[in-house]
Amino acid sequence: MMGIPLAWLLGALSASADSSPIPASSRQLVLVVTPNETATSGVLYRFERDSEDSPWKEVAPQVKIVVGRAGLASGAGLHREPVPGLSLKKEGDGKSPAGVFALTSAFGFEDARAGLRLPYVPLTDTIECVDDPSSRHYNRLVDRNEISSPDWKSSEKMREIEEYVFGVVVAQNSEPIAPGAGSCIFLHAWSGPESTTVGCTAMPTERIREIVRWLDAAAEPVLVQLTEAAYEALRDPWKLSGSRPERGERSNKTARGNR
């Protein structure tokens, strides 16, 4: 359930002629920037564009977010090279992945599929995300009742985690899946502005609810998650120019209630 659809791979290939890992066909962008590699909070921006050559346009207020308790590490996504200045993401390192990642599906406690434009998984008591690197189901969201011989010793029991009331699957370490390179990475609700995660990106419940309802599979949405230094280094080659306001404009656009 966490694999990248063929359309995503074709989009990535169409972008391989230049240095941007963002597929040419992507029309929605979630950008997260943190101050540095050990920072545990940052800002999330949402953008849309009409075509590959169109500028990214900000479409929602900026949102304060929190990331892994140990900051960011370079993940395994649509980008071809490690993100400069960062260690590589590993299972259990407490770091959120940096790079470019497909946003492939959503999940939540409600049976809220009506009106959504992403594939949606209502979380039941038997839905688990396997984080055991030795399992053949590693880094996959599965229904335990549908697995004839569960082979994992560790998993996230999704319905038991309050912060998973709404969430989006981040295709980190997805195609191919490398054992130990990180698993079960999501955008989801936080437990508060001073909290951290074990590797996900979290925000107020109303903000993740808005994002779930905004994302459209047909727009091939991506997450770009970077430190400030990496954003400055990769802004032009990744065609992110214009995707953030100037520094002086940022603080005035943060969504209310997120501080």
pLDDT at 14 (0 to 100): 40
| 21 within a domain of the structure (yes/no) | no
Q: Contact, 143 vs 171, CB < 8 A?
A: no
pLDDT at 113 (0 to 100): 73
pLDDT at 247 (0 to 100): 53
The pairing of strands 201-203 and 186-189 is parallel
Q: What's the DSSP call for residue 94? A: -
Q: Quick check: bond before 176 cis, omega within 30?
A: yes
pLDDT at 254 (0 to 100): 42
| 192 within a domain of the structure (yes/no) | yes
| 66 within a domain of the structure (yes/no) | yes
Torsion angle, alpha carbons of 90, 40, 68, 196, to 10: 160
What residues have CB less than 8 Å from 11, skipping those under 6 apart? 23, 24, 25, 26, 220
| 39 within a domain of the structure (yes/no) | yes
pLDDT at 198 (0 to 100): 98
Q: Which domain holds residue 244?
A: 6-10+26-250
Residue type, 199: G
| 51 within a domain of the structure (yes/no) | yes
What residues have CB less than 8 Å from 150, skipping those under 6 apart? 137, 144
Below-70 pLDDT ranges, the chain: 1-18, 241-243, 245-259
| 20 within a domain of the structure (yes/no) | no
Token pair in block for residue 120: 């949606």
How many domains, in total, are found in the chain?
Answer: 1
